[in-house]
Amino acid sequence: MNNSPNQTPRPKKNKVFAILPYILIPLMMVIGIAIASQQSGNRSVEAKYYQIIQYFDKDQVSEFTLNLTSGTLKYKLKGDDTKWQYKVPNVSVFVDDVNETVREHNKNAKSDDDMIKYELISGSSTSWFVNLLPTIIMGVLLVILLVIMMRRMNTMGGDMNKTLNFGKINAKKQQDQKSKTTFEQVAGADEEKEELSEMVDFLKCPEKFSTLGARIPKGVLLVGPPGTGKTLLARAVAGEANVPFFSISGSDFVEMYVGVGASRVRDLFDQAKKDAPSVIFIDEIDAVGRHRGAGMGGGHDEREQTLNQLLVEMDGFEKNQGVIVIAATNRPDILDPALLRPGRFDRQVTVDRPDVKGREQILRVHAENKPMDEDVKFEKLAQMTVGFTGADLANLLNESALLAARRHRSVISMDEVEESMERVIAGPQRKGRVMTEAERTTIAYHESGHALVGHILEHSDPVHKISIVSRGQALGYTLQLPQEDHFLKTKNEMLDELAVFLGGRVAEELMCDDITSGASNDLERATKMAREMVTRLGMSEELGTQVFGEAQHQVFLGRDYADHQDYSEETARRIDIEVQRIMREAHRRAVEILDARRDQLDLMAKVLLERETVEGDAVNALLDNEWDAYLEREGDILAAKEERNAKAAGIPTKKRAPRMSEEELAADAAAFAQAAMQEDAEAASDDAGDADADADADADADADK
């Protein structure tokens, strides 16, 4: 196979050298352990020759071994298991000195155990080399290992330089994108795009502003909840202006090494200045721009040093010509005031949740590449998704597409969209959860109570769906969707919402044998809302228009950690009494509504136990107490729904005949009865004719006889 000249194959020797250290190091360890273990059994002694001879003369030696060539004496003393080693100066002299002593001792020994055991070894002249061989091998391996490591250090010089350059920023530069983001791709943010269009004009034509003496804002802070499109807007600014776009997260500046964050800030702005005009986008700037002086360490904190460098780069002694900084955060309250002053972040653009018109635009944008059924009405869907962000709406349509594919459908219908919306809000269904019949009955009455109270009260949101099928942590749920966006909540709306919260518990009290723990979340939310009405919103006539409790802002923690009680114990008692009064009033209203409609509540629970989920026309019929009338037309409603689902799944359906009126039905029934009577008459005449023919035949037969 021929290799192209641009592709140079990597030598295999490099792979061998890379593996060798992992082989040599364990091998050297094994040899070292072997040498150590070999020498660990023998202990050398620095003794005089005459002391060794005295050991033999005093009968203290139990056994010994003598190498006649090297002169190595290994011996043991009586009562000691240690094997000592001594280098004999002259082997022949030593043998003459101890020979007679050992022979005499062994001759007079009473038993074999008392005898001195000895062994004379005639070692070869090469024994010293054999002893030194492990050490030689270990030295050679060490030299080879050092050579390999030196070669590797030389080849990895470039990588080491990269590793040591931890002060350099790793910003993503997005300039040569094939598909750049533009303002047309950003839906539901018309006001925000208008605010940012000045940035685009400055980046395209800065002379237009400089000739008039205008100073373009150096920084724009995008503030809003997560998922509202802050990053998308920043990309759109760079895409519209067709300039380099540097994106980085605020957490990328902070490291454990002192001074790394400040170094990375300098490097980021140096890169942006080289490619000016350019856009720097810092996502989640609250990670590096928190209020100074809040943490331990004061001004020497690493985060504060990074923030100081960012402040200097944005508006310091040096000018940032052609560099615009766009930052995003959902916590502007914890940012340092020096960061928000004019000259740094001159503008704050609030990217809020989209309104009903914006949601419709976002839905249409995300539905462009998806096959949607005719029954999907984006206007209705936008009204149902109050409070959804752009990310939520994108996730909603994606879940709908996944659900349609799971159901083997060719298009996405409204059923999949509504099911996906419930999955996003409450979680997936948990039909496998086994519950007793008593629990199912209690849940049915509980959810019926919520729905009926919410339907009766004037200021409550319309009920969209009731279900006793578990979703997420909820054993059942009642889905209420507002018809329009609300930016304010009135006192009457909050009081009605409290009654709806308590509707489930009241239904259990009226229709069940005992109350359950199923209303714990309802009670928690209701109590929190009632206390907010009294202490925060000034909606209590007893306590007046006053706020009780001052929040203690813990900026370092990033949240309001606690409330400071700036009122007396008597006021606290009055607050508790007022909260109890509001809760009792809401409970009384729920009791009045449900107690007067026990039969309807019974019917709703019965239907829920039978069908588990009620929605659409069925839930409206239940709440309006017109269930019998709904059952008469339910067949047509279900047939139309099945036809629509079959069409979405690509299954051919038979065309149904149009429904006939009552007059047409009566005329059709009369015609059917008349035709049936005529057929009976004809059949009777035919039977009579057959009987006469049989009688004539019998008479002829008798005459022949």
Contact 556, 567 (CB under 8 A): no
Find, among 334, 160, 166, the residue nearest to 256 by Cα: 166
Report the amino acid identity of residue 309: Q
DSSP 551: E
Report the amino acid identity of residue 264: R
What DSSP letter does each residue of 43-57 carry, written as one string?
EE----HHHHHHHHH
Token output for 133: 């061989």
Token output for 182: 């533009």
Report the amino acid identity of residue 397: L
Say which of 195, 447, 497, 578 is annotated catalytic: 447
Report the amino acid identity of residue 593: I
Find, among 223, 291, 288, 330, the residue nearest to 555 by Cα: 291
Find, among 319, 338, 348, 340, the residue nearest to 215 by Cα: 319
Q: State residue 475 phi and psi, 5-degree precision.
A: -80, -20
CA 254/CA 262 separation, integer angstroms: 9
CA 343/CA 341 separation, integer angstroms: 6
**CA-atom Rg of the chain in angstroms:** 47
| Bridge pairing between strands 83-87 and 219-223 | unpaired
Find, among 516, 521, 530, 519, the residue nearest to 584 by Cα: 530
Token output for 562: 């606690």
Reading phi first (left if > 0) and then psi (alpha if -120 to 50, else beta), residue 558 is in left
**Residues near 517 by beta carbon (within 8 Å), at least 6 away in sequence:** none
Find, among 614, 588, 630, the residue nearest to 444 by Cα: 614
Helices (H), 333-389: 337-340, 356-366, 378-384
198 catalytic? Reply is no
Catalytic positions are: 447
